[in-house]
A and B are shown apart, each in its own frame.
Chain A
Amino acid sequence: EAGVAQSPRYKIIEKRQSVAFWCNPISGHATLYWYQQILGQGPKLLIQFQNNGVVDDSQLPKDRFSAERLKGVDSTLKIQPAKLEDSAVYLCASSLDTEAFFGQGTRLTVV
């Protein structure tokens, strides 16, 4: 079974630039999550989708972050404009029930 695929693995941008991350979940998984993991901290939920509907985006900084999941499959997370404090690993995960499967993440460095 293929796992959760994310791209790119690494990204370096200057502050105020924009960036987008892509996630392809495990086939058939209805729930998709985006997490932000700052160095030395646990993952923090940014947004949770159930199929192509948003279940929880209460911690998504909506003035600069946006996410979509068209057709209930792939998802993209965008940051525009980026700030230095956005430097983190962005993890995508998907689940069918209680077990979440994580991708390898995208490490974003904002300089």
Chain B
Amino acid sequence: GNSVTQMEGPVTLSEEAFLTINCTYTATGYPSLFWYVQYPGEGLQLLLKATKADDKGSNKGFEATYRKETTSFHLEKGSVQVSDSAVYFCALITSGTYKYIFGTGTRLKVLA
């Protein structure tokens, strides 16, 4: 079946450090891929998405590239801020179903 695997957290970084959160997926067909972010006490918010191979999603300095050959969608940011501290979820939907499948989430803590 379809699934998403994320690197386990927590990830603790100093401000301005480089961030990578790994995400790989298993899916039939051609899924769309997403990163959602959840700040403390809030619901999930879409951070970025990519709908086909080689697409790069970007938002707020975060980027992720849809790599079909490695079935990956790793999240990166060149310089993290304290305000980026949150839980990040990788997710996919398969074409036609609009059924989201989420990874387990990776908690990021950025220290000043």
**Contact present for A98 and B99 (CB under 8 Å):** no
Contact of A99 among B46, B89, B102, B105 (CB under 8 A): B46
A100 within 8 A of B: yes
The A-B contact count (CB < 8 A) is 55
Stretch in A12-20, A41-49, A62-70, A71-79 touching the partner: A41-49
Decide: A98 and B43 in contact? CB cutoff 8 A: no
| Residue on B nearest A30 in the bound complex, by CB | B98
Q: Is the CB of B89 within 8 A of A42?
A: yes
Q: Please classify the interface of chain A as helix (H, G, I), strand (E, B), loop, or mixed, using the class held by over half of its residues.
A: strand
Closest 9 CB pairs of A and B: A42-B102, A102-B43, A102-B44, A104-B43, A42-B104, A43-B102, A42-B105, A103-B43, A98-B32
Please report B residues at the A interface, Cβ cutoff 8 Å: 4, 32, 34, 36, 41-46, 49, 51, 89, 91, 93, 97-105
